[in-house]
């Protein structure tokens, strides 16, 4: 059995790892580099039960447990560590609370901590790029193959009902099953098969180097910039890098993942917001100013499972803000579905691609 996985983000890498554990012949086709897109530029924050009461709950809980397990199982250090999480707000100029000392000693006066919303039992973090690379490296060490190429189409059998591989710039790769895991670029696969729409939501981020004593405190803060309210998220990681993001916007998805850039005005505003949070966020400590597109679907839930009316064709995308968290259980469940026809640990029914109308391919302009 040979499976081709289109896309080497966190979803593709985890799927490759779990398929290899089942002894499947795996080829990952990645257009640029492993973790070149959102999977390398995310925060990496993980929460066990923040999806409680939603269809994502079982996937998130299983993934949270797998993240802890994988950290002990696979070679490499991607900084998996439990952490606390807090909500609060940044007191605006002129507000008397502007001079109040923060409850967390690494934060500036006026950063008001309202509530502890995660503990070392319920919240954790990984470095997402290092995690994705480690999963791919483990899959390769176990026999998976990585090809740097661009998937441009599907190969089907004579009557068109079964996927037989993929077309790439460099030729054809034959396979018994194909998994589409190209993040927001999975949209392009709607030209080749009946797939619901997947959109890209852009977010800028700044990464600071805090050195060896980066606090294990994630922050979810309400702030104000130029008279507008904004939510800002701060994720210090075990390797000393701290990822700060806010100010998501709507922007066209570039066809080439390497062409994704942040809006320069958004970066200037995000830097100004960051500098109000802590004296640690000084301009000379900046190590990256970037943006990425997270994949979203019409109902906000991922697409994970078999694509209707196509034998041997699967999709795993649309993980939105929880792709790093939910990648391990997604990969595990897909490997079970492909090999056994059913899943054991997580019920994929809420994520069935058949629940949404397929995108009309004529809406996609010819590339």
Ligand X SMILES: Cc1cc2nc3c(=O)[nH]c(=O)nc-3n(C[C@H](O)[C@H](O)[C@H](O)COP(=O)(O)OP(=O)(O)OC[C@H]3O[C@@H](n4cnc5c(N)ncnc54)[C@H](O)[C@@H]3O)c2cc1C
Stretch of residues binding ligand X (CB under 6 A), selected from 53-61, 82-90, 176-184, 358-366: 176-184
Segment 243-262, which members bind ligand X (CB under 6 A)? 245, 257
Q: Which is nearer to ligand X, 110 or 317 (CB)?
A: 317
Distance of alpha carbon 313 from alpha carbon 167, whole angstroms: 14
Q: Which is nearer to ligand X, 92 or 155 (CB)?
A: 155
Q: Judged by CB under 6 A, which of 15, 20, 39, 270 binds ligand X?
A: 39
Q: Is 281 in the site for ligand X (CB under 6 A)?
A: no
CA distances 223 to 89, 226, 237, 274, Å, are: 6, 10, 22, 10
Q: Is 317 in the site for ligand X (CB under 6 A)?
A: yes
Distance of alpha carbon 198 from alpha carbon 178, whole angstroms: 18
* In contact, 189 and 227? CB cutoff 8 Å: no
Distance of alpha carbon 167 from alpha carbon 169, whole angstroms: 7
Residues that bind ligand X (rule: CB under 6 A) add up to a total of 40
Q: Which residue has the tokens 């993040």?
A: 183
Q: Is 295 in the site for ligand X (CB under 6 A)?
A: yes
* In contact, 233 and 47? CB cutoff 8 Å: no
> C-beta of 121: minimal distance to ligand X in Å?
18
Q: Which helix (H) or strand (E) holds 296?
A: strand 286-297
Stretch of residues binding ligand X (CB under 6 A), selected from 2-10, 53-61, 89-97, 348-356: 2-10
Rounded to 5 degrees, what are φ and ψ at 337? -60, -45
Instruction: List alpha helices for the chain, DSSP H.
Output: 10-21, 38-41, 57-73, 128-141, 264-275, 323-340
Q: Judged by CB under 6 A, which of 44, 79, 110, 305 binds ligand X?
A: 44
> C-beta of 316: minimal distance to ligand X in Å?
7
Residues that bind ligand X (CB under 6 A): 6-12, 29-32, 36-39, 42-45, 150-151, 181-183, 185, 203, 205, 245, 257, 292, 294-295, 317, 319-325
């Amino acid at each position: 059995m040979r499976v081709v996985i289109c896309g080497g983000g966190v979803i593709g890498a985890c799927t490759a790892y779990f398929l290899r554990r089942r002894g499947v012949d795996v080829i990952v086709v990645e257009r640029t580099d492993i973790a070149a897109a959102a999977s390398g530029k995310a925060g990496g924050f993980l929460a066990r039960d923040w999806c409680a009461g939603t269809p994502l709950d079982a996937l998130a809980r299983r993934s949270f447990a797998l993240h802890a397990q994988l950290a002990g199982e696979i070679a490499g250090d991607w900084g998996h560590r439990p952490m606390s999480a807090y909500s609060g707000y940044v007191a605006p100029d002129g507000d008397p609370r502007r001079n109040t000392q923060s409850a967390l000693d690494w934060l500036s006066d006026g950063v008001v901590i309202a509530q502890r919303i995660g503990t070392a039992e319920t919240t954790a973090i990984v470095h997402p790029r290092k995690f994705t690379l480690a999963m791919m490296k483990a899959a390769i060490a176990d026999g998976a193959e990585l090809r740097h190429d661009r998937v441009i189409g599907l190969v089907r059998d004579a009557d068109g009902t079964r996927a037989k591989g993929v077309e790439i710039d460099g030729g054809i790769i034959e396979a018994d099953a194909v998994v589409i895991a190209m993040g927001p670029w999975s949209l392009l696969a709607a030209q080749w098969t009946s797939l619901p729409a997947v959109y890209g939501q852009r977010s800028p981020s700044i990464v600071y180097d805090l050195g060896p004593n980066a606090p294990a405190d994630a922050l979810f803060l309400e702030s104000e910039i130029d008279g507008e309210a904004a939510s800002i998220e701060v994720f210090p990681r075990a390797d000393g890098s701290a990822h700060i993001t806010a100010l998501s916007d709507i922007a066209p998805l570039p066809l080439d993942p390497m062409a994704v850039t942040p809006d320069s005005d958004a970066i200037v505003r995000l830097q100004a917001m960051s500098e109000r949070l802590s004296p640690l966020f000084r301009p000379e400590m900046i190590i990256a100013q970037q943006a990425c597109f997270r994949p979203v679907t019409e109902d906000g839930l991922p697409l994970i499972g078999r694509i209707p009316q196509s034998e041997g064709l699967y999709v795993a995308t649309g993980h939105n803000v929880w792709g790093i968290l939910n990648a391990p259980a997604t990969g595990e469940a897909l490997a079970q579905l492909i090999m056994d026809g059913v899943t054991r640990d997580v019920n994929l029914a809420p994520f069935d691609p058949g629940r949404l109308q397929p995108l009309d391919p004529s809406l996609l302009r010819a590339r």
